[in-house]
Structure 1
Amino acid sequence: MANSTDPFEVPEQVRAFAEKGVSQARDNYAKFKEAAQNGNGAIEAVFSAASNGVHAYSAKLLDFGQANTSAGFDFLQELVGARSLTDATEVWSAHTRRQFGTFAAQAKELAELGQKIATETAEPIRTSTSKLFQPVV
């Protein structure tokens, strides 16, 4: 019969299994921690890109507003200088054609800028996701 004062010994197989489990838990924690940190970095990059995009879009809208306002004042000045109804009609028609062309170009430019902003804003998410789902080697 074993003496109650004998120290308890853990079998070598149980000890090895426990050590392996602890090691795997540490590795998994490190991977989880890295993924969380990368996720935070990706979120910060998304907000930064979105903020820059909103600024660029707003600046473009302001530029267009200034250009359109200036064109409106130029039109009014030309209209006031018209000497006849025929001249006024020609000035009005020319201005209308120019503005339709300008509005179409501005709409196209805004659409392209919006697409660029969306792409740049989504890039950190795409990069982070591709890193997260890379095959384990």
Structure 2
Amino acid sequence: MPKAELKPAELFPISGDNVREIAEKGLTQTRDAYEKLNASAKEAAGSIESSATIVAKGLTEFNAKAFEAIQANAYLTLDYLSSLVAAKSPTEAVSLHSAHVEKQLKALSGQAKDLTALAQKIAQEASEPLKTQFEKTIKPAA
């Protein structure tokens, strides 16, 4: 028995009601997708704003800490210079210089550690809102 060939119109009957139903369904899906995308974009913008605020506060703190380091180094240098002026012999001047270099290196090392730790803390705190938003966005999609 030969197979009856069906025409596309017989497989997928199209009527005014079907077209309207398909169009309304498509429109509803598009609106839902837009609302979800819009909500995600607003949340992402909020996360970026939070992160920027944290960075701004952190940079203020970092700048203050750097200024303290500069000030401490200036005081060390002034103390060294006043001791050097009061030195009574070249041997004493060399001894003062060695002591000053040792103090300066110790101070710079401590300051570098403090500033590095602060920069890492700022980076960690600033990335947290973005990380949270990323996880929130990616997990539902997966």
Place the TM-score, normalised by the shorter chain, in its bin: 0.7 to 0.9
Match of 2:45 among 37, 40, 46: 40
Compare 55-64 and 21-30 and name the one that shifted more. 21-30
Residue 109 of structure 2 corresponds to residue 104 of structure 1: yes
Q: How does 1:1-137 map to 2 (within 5 A)?
A: 10-11=16-17, 17-135=22-140
- The residue type paired with residue 67 of structure 1 is A
Aligned length, in residue pairs: 128
2: CA distance between counterparts of 1:67 and 1:101? Answer: 12
Secondary structure of 1:135 counterpart? helix
- What do residues 61-108 of structure 1 show as CA deviations (whole Å, max 9, x unaligned)? 111011100111111111122222222221111111111111111111
Compare 30-39 and 42-51 and name the one that shifted more. 42-51
Measured after TM superposition, the shift of residue 29 of structure 1 is 1.9
Query: Unpaired segments of 5 or more residues in structure 1?
Result: 1-8
Secondary structure of 1:33 counterpart? helix
Alignment-derived partner of residue 3 in structure 2: none
Q: Among the aligned pairs, what percent are the same residue?
A: 38
Query: What is the TM-score normalised by the length of structure 1?
Result: 0.80
Measured after TM superposition, the shift of residue 52 of structure 1 is 1.5
Measured after TM superposition, the shift of residue 53 of structure 1 is 2.0
Alignment-derived partner of residue 5 in structure 1: none
- What do residues 3-54 of structure 1 show as CA deviations (whole Å, max 9, x unaligned)? xxxxxx954x665544443332332122111111111112211221221222
Compare 63-72 and 28-37 and name the one that shifted more. 28-37
Alignment-derived partner of residue 6 in structure 1: none
- The residue type paired with residue 129 of structure 2 is P
Structure 1: 4+ residue segments shifted above 4 A:
13-19
